[in-house]
Chains A and B, each alone.
Chain A
Amino acid sequence: MHFTQKDILDMASLSAEEITHILDTAQGMKEISLRPVKKVPTLRGKTLILFFHEASTRTKTSFDIAGKRLSADVIALAKSGSSMAKGESLLDTVKTLEAMHPDVVVMRHGTSGAAQYIAGHLKSPVINAGDGKHAHPTQALLDMMTIRERKGRLAGLKVAIIGDIAHSRVARSNMEGLIRMGAEVRVAGPPTMIPKGVEEVYGVKVFSAVEGALEGADVVMMLRIQKERMENILFASEREYARTFGLSTGRLALAHPDALVLHPGPMNRGVEITDEVADGHHSVILDQVENGVALRMALFYLLAGGMRHADED
């Protein structure tokens, strides 16, 4: 298929066919990372700008490695040290970037809608690497890639997403993407962390008790509890959270015997997930990280016009 999206901003704007095409392309990219020389010339001469306005280690590193494995020139910017720290507006910063003719801009920002905002002002493609509480499409895509790899399909799977749905861009993008691909999505967490209208907006099923959501689940996706954001009013204590909403071996037994456990990381071990589960045989958390690089390579390839170099290697 011919991929025609200019940007990757959220899962809502991707069709099931496009999602499948991205996942297929990523699957093909995965092999490159297993070679002794992990580099192909596909995006030689292309410039990728990683503009991370919010702290990030794993996502930024994943994009960085993905770009370099395709031989692109990868320029990383952070807010600190950029002109934005000196008070420049986002629009002016973006216009400055535009003048340098990047082939793709990857943007992370603490404000919902920020990626869409800059995409509206940039001719070059924009990949949203996380905007506020809104979307994190590359995380959802790598999650879907990981699930599909293990389960062979997405349609018909029962996926439980547990934790802070309200403040999670990962949850939003996964709900959108998984429903689009025909999965059944259940969410659970303290009522303080379930946003208003989530059933109607995404077509998911809300459970007040984690156990109900876990019952027979093929996939369990745990979300990170952002302790710094909670201000002690979304839940009472880590201890109680772990006991009531955390994923333990005992609770996991409610799910399908072959259930997969995912976590976008970084994990709060002992809070939302126990050590045994995080490191147990259901866990595909490191597969997610590995697939993240392949998935981002695929997106760079599809967006940066790598098509004509695809066969050179």
Chain B
Amino acid sequence: MQMKIENGHVLDPGNMDGIRDIWIHDGRIAAVTEPGECRDRADEIFDATGLVVTPGLIDMHVHLREPGQEYKETIETGCRAAVRGGFTAVCCMPNTRPVNDHAGVTAWIIAQAKKAGLARVYPVAAISRGLEGSQLNEYADLKSAGAIALSDDGMPVNSGQMMRRAMEYAKAFDLFLISHCEDLSLVAGGVMNEGETATRLGLGGIPNISEYLMVQREIGLAEWTGSRIHIAHVSTRESVQAIREAKARGVQVTAETAPHYFSLTDEAVGRYNTAAKMNPPLRSEADRRAIIDGLADGTLDCIATDHAPHASMEKNVPFDEAPNGIIGLETSLGLSLKLVHDGFLSLKDLIRVMSKNPARILGFTNDLTPGALADLTLMDTAAFWEVDPSAFASLSRNTPFGGWQLHGQAVATIVEGRVVFRK
């Protein structure tokens, strides 16, 4: 079975940038040729004229909710949302029920994802037993079962000692930690960014320093132990600066941010809009600009969505009571392309932060070169479309971007040579 993707603008930062034909054979890239140069027969021809063809997008931070909360999302619906958003792979966080703190759960997630046959799913296992922050998990077992990294995500590891030992222990198995940075004592019941909007609404504020202090601790511990640390969903200007300085002195730190942190500010909470409630919270305009600067200068390595599905009945409550999180897989590329259209990032840099860098952090290459697995995203960067949550493949609808006009979207997603989504 040979497939030819012809006449696309192939953009693989560091490798290629031009109009090419891509030949795919048995799930791998067989050749990349000048248009019309190779006259081999193809069983299937995909006309990519006018489209940008890139290595598959990877979202390092999603919640698939299965096992345990299948009414919000299942591995299958989450993967369907992923491929519609142009993602060929996602990393799923361990706060499922049961928690992914055991090889059996990890293996089960991978099996379910295989069954769905859409995006690749790389499970992130828990740092600590039951996400309780007190006992290390069996990292060797988790790694053999397929865990790609470790995180207690929404339950930040409070004890510095526990975090130190987890970093040291993970090194033995060549695993790295992803940290949700939050000093809970400074959050103190806050539900949105501490600032003028919170003051006006009478809502408890979450100060920037609750994130920044923990970022500093993780950087310090990574430096001390010689370990790698990945900072999840960076939201504040102080965190960006701390990561920038740490990278400059050679600390093994990488970081991600999410589209909502460069697209919105805490003003989106408006009049108690629970669709704008997330953790970390939407911040100020100064923070939003710092996040964009951090992406532009490489301080922030990648864009991840923190796709967090919740049922509408859970979000349709007073603000204090609503769960944190928004979905993001189907809007991520459109929102991120706005950075390109607005001149903050080149398209090449965007592909770096959405595709190449996540792969590098996860420990594999994601190239469009002969012999590589054929994971590709085909995007129409010029298409205008309106976000319609009712049309999402995700089971949940909790997004603040409904009705937004976006510029650019994925039109096809190919995983191991198979078209898993085509618009």
Please list the residues of chain A having a beta carbon within 8 angstroms of any beta carbon in chain B: 89-91, 109, 111-114, 116-117, 131-135, 166, 169, 172, 195-198, 200-201
Contacts and interface: CB of A to CB of B under 8 A. Distances in A.
B134 to A, nearest CB: 25
B272 interface: yes
B195 A197 contact: yes
A65 to B, nearest CB: 27
Given A113-B272, A196-B196, A197-B196, A91 B202 contact: no
Contacts of B313: 89
Contacts of B205: 195-196
Contacts of A113: 201-203, 271-272, 318-320
19 contacts: A111-B318, A111-B320, A112-B203, A112-B319, A112-B320, A113-B272, A113-B318, A114-B318, A116-B271, A117-B319, A131-B202, A132-B320, A134-B202, A169-B202, A172-B202, A196-B198, A196-B205, A200-B196, A201-B196
Contacts of A91: 316-317
A111 B202 CA distance: 9
B272 A197 contact: no
B195 A111 contact: no
Interface of B: 194-196, 198-205, 271-272, 313, 316-321
Contact of A198 (B199, B201, B271, B317): B199
B197 to A, nearest CB: 8
Contacts of B318: 90, 109, 111-114, 117
A197 B199 contact: yes
B275 to A, nearest CB: 14
Pairs of residues from A and B, 10 with the lowest C-beta to C-beta distance, nearest first: A134-B202, A113-B272, A133-B202, A197-B196, A112-B202, A195-B199, A111-B318, A111-B320, A114-B318, A113-B319
A275 B136 CA distance: 58
Contacts of B194: 196
Nearest to A118: B318
B202 A196 contact: no
B319 A111 contact: yes
Nearest to A233: B188
Nearest to A109: B318
Given A90-B317, A134-B201, A196-B195, 8 more contacts: A90-B318, A114-B318, A116-B272, A117-B317, A132-B202, A133-B203, A196-B198, A196-B199
A153 B201 CA distance: 28
Nearest to A168: B202
A77 to B, nearest CB: 17
Contacts of A114: 318
B154 to A, nearest CB: 21
Contacts of A197: 195-196, 199
Contacts of B317: 89-91, 117
A89 B315 CA distance: 12
B199 A112 contact: no
Nearest to A231: B188
Contacts of A198: 199
A119 to B, nearest CB: 11
Contacts of A166: 199
Nearest to A167: B202
Contacts of B319: 111-113, 117
A197 B317 CA distance: 27
A114 B203 CA distance: 11
Nearest to A112: B202
